[in-house]
Every structure is written in structure tokens, then in C-alpha cells.
Amino acid sequence: MKKLGLLVAVSVGLSACAGGMSGGSTPGNSNNIVTQYPVEAAMLNIYTKARSQSLVANVGNQKASADIKVTPKGSMVFNNKQVQGAEVNTINKVNNQVTDQSVAINYFTLNPLVFHGFTDSSGKYSISNQTTTIPKMATIGSSSKLIKEDVYADRSMRKKIGTYNQDWSLSRDSNNTAWFCIETSANLLLSNDPNGSSSECYKINARGDILDSKVTISQPSTNGTKTITFTSR
């Protein structure tokens, strides 16, 4: 899966899906403690259904932001397979000035949900090997490996430029909400990846609705690892 394009942070001081964000509440008594959440439904809402989000972060004395829009593309062919596609359009800004725009398409099949790779506007071509089945339901505290992804410079796949691991985890936020996170490793082909690793976290309720989100990027620097966290606005 294409991780969110927030690398604008590098240039400003780090040396390096139904509907939009919903404010829906969990059905039933808010004092009840929910222990299981629909992980597959959450992933469908995040990556395959239409939604928009805006993330912001302060980097030094500058304000970085990313406006992200997911648009389903319907039936497509990817890597000689019949799949579904969802476009991710990301506009990066610094102090409200556009610095970069990227368009990617994630490719997946349903029943069960399986991700197959992505393409993007820079020409990158990714092949994903989904190593585990995404569960319908998961208990607070659960985590699992998800994808090993090889990224190539273009669709000829002659030049591999990245290999990444992605994992998921589920942790408690409140009695009836949880944080569902997708962790993406640094590029395993590099001894020191300037883009670092990232964590996309989404607050969900017992239906898998997306209530809030945050993205943390960890990057190496001369003084160790620096992190920047984008939060939804």
C-alpha cells in the first residue's frame, strides 16, 4: 500500500474511506467497554472508500500540511490481475504554499481484502505480498505482519528501489474507541533511509468508522532520530 506522501517534512527542517472524517459514536451505552474492533472494515474505510482528510504539523517555525483525498476507481487491471483501484491524491503545503502533489493508485481485491501494490505519478510500480489475512475482528492489543512490498522505478520492474514491511496494531483509546495503526519500515535496501519509517494511526469506533488520524514520521539525523507528527484538523 502506498504510504501517505508527507515527505514535505524533509524539506522544511528534519534533515530528511466512506465519507470524510466521521464524528459518529459507538452504538449502545458509552460506558460499555469494547474489546474487539472490525479491522477489515477500518482498512476498507481508510484505503478503498471515498474520503478526505487534512493533516498538519509544525516543523521548526513553519507549518506543514497535507490534504489527502481518496477516490474509488472501480474495476482495473494490475500486474495481469483483475482488481479494484482507489486513487490517493496528496497535496503538500508549507505555510499554505503548495510544494508538491502526488497521485497514487492502490490496487486490491475484496472478500477477503488483499492488497496487490500501487502505482504513482512519479512512475513507481509496487508489488505487494500480503503475508497474513486481515481479520474481520481483532482484540485490543492485537498486532500482525501485513505486507512485504517491493517498489520499482517503473513498470518494467528492472530497477528495484525499495523494499518495505508493513504491520498493523490495535490499541485502546477509550472505552469505545481504539487506535488502529499501520507501521511502515524504513527502506530495507538502504543502510540509512533518509525518508525513515512511518506510522499511520486512525481512531476508530466499534463500526470501524474513522474518527481521527495522525501520522508520525521518524527520520535519521545528525543528532539521532527526529520525529514529526501530523494530526488531523
Kindly report the pTM of this predicted structure.
Answer: 0.88
Q: What is the pLDDT of residues 143-152, one digit of tens each?
A: 999 999 999 9
- pLDDT above 70: residue 198: yes
Instruction: Name the amino acid, one letter, at 33.
Output: I
Which whole number is the average pLDDT over 211-228? 88
Phi, psi dihedral angles at 159 (to 5 degrees): -125, 110
Which whole number is the average pLDDT over 101-113? 95
The per-residue pLDDT of the chain, averaged, comes to: 88
Q: Which residue has the higher pLDDT, 134 or 4?
A: 134
Q: What is the pLDDT of residues 66-104, one digit of tens each?
A: 999 999 999 999 999 999 999 999 999 999 999 989 999
